């Protein structure tokens, strides 16, 4: 009797867990459509699209969204092209200190960002890129690059080395081989790498606080700035929901590559 009821118990438990996990998101979305502060012609507690309209009309929020998107795009455009040849070198070549260097990359990645804020600030001040979108994006690249090399190295190592040798015998140069043969095979790994770059750049606030004063504020700091003596909770929830949309679009558009990418053994 219990064995017959086991599938129903599992399904019920899964539904309850899914409902519990989605409850904060549902509540946040509902509040985002409610006026929580007095507005002209709108009563407190009434349904409204004004919170989302305020995101579009507020130049600071528009700028914050644009800055965060710029961080992600710059990170992916710099990190992935640099990480692919570096990962290929670690996977296919042997050189003095290669394992120690690879370990140093991983050790650097697990270093708390706040530890490096002072030397990075001094370096960027000398280069004149403090308080700029590019400066913050470049700081993000420093932390995204090690994990990107580590991820891609695993995907490249899963590809038989005989493919390289066959392509070289057919007259392919190394760059042409990487572009023609390697990239299509490690597309899931590139998707996973881009996903991790997005996650770090979209929510990171340490460098944004240290390296910016007026320009380059990301959406995470814009949300924090909305809290004050009289906080418009509806607007805060609307900005939070809107900030989740780019991530949802990224995951949906790359879902096939991501699902394959997280199954490294089946690449």
For every residue of 4-66, DSSP letters joined together read: HHHHHHHHHHHHHHHHHHHHHHHHHHHHHTB--S-BTTB-TT-B-SHHHHHHHH-HHHHHHHH
pLDDT (0 to 100) of residue 267: 42
Q: Which of 34, 23, 61, 13 is nearest to 243 (CA)?
A: 61
> pLDDT tens for residues 195-239?
888 888 888 888 888 887 777 788 888 888 888 778 888 889 999
Please tell me the pTM assigned to this model: 0.79
Structure tokens, 197: 């770059």
Determine, yes or no, domain membership for 45. no
CATH code, domain carrying 214: 1.10.3720.10
Residue 240 CA to residue 153 CA, distance in Å, equals 35
> pLDDT tens for residues 218-230?
888 888 888 877 8
Determine, yes or no, domain membership for 202. yes
Determine, yes or no, domain membership for 22. no
The total number of structural domains that make up the chain: 1
**Structural domain range at position 149:** 58-266
Structure tokens, 134: 């590019």
In whole angstroms, what separates CA 93 from the centre of its chain?
Answer: 30
């Amino acid at each position: 009797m219990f064995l017959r009821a086991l599938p129903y118990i599992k399904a019920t438990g899964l539904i309850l867990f899914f409902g519990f996990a989605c409850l904060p998101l549902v509540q946040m979305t509902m509040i985002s459509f409610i006026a929580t502060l007095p507005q002209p012609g709108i009563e407190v507690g009434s349904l409204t699209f004004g919170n989302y309209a305020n995101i579009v009309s507020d130049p600071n929020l528009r700028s914050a969204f644009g800055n965060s998107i710029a961080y992600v795009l710059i990170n992916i455009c710099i990190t992935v092209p640099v990480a692919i040849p570096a990962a290929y070198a670690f996977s296919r070549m042997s050189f003095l200190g290669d394992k120690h260097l690879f370990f140093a990359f991983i050790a650097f990645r697990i270093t708390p960002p706040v530890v490096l804020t002072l030397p990075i600030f001094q370096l960027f001040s000398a280069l004149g890129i403090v308080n700029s979108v590019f400066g913050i994006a470049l700081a993000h690249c420093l932390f995204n690059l090690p994990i990107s090399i580590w991820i891609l190295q695993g995907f490249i190592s899963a590809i038989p080395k005989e493919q390289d040798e066959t392509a070289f015998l057919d007259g392919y140069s190394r760059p042409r081989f990487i572009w023609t043969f390697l990239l299509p095979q490690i597309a899931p790994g590139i998707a996973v790498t881009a996903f991790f770059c997005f996650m770090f750049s979209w929510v990171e606030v340490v460098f944004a606080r240290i390296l910016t004063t007026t320009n380059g504020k990301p959406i995470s700091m814009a949300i924090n700035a909305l809290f004050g003596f009289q906080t418009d909770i509806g607007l805060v929830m609307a900005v939070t929901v809107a900030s989740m949309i780019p991530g949802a679009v990224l995951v949906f558009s790359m879902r096939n590559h991501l699902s394959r990418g997280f199954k490294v053994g089946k690449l």
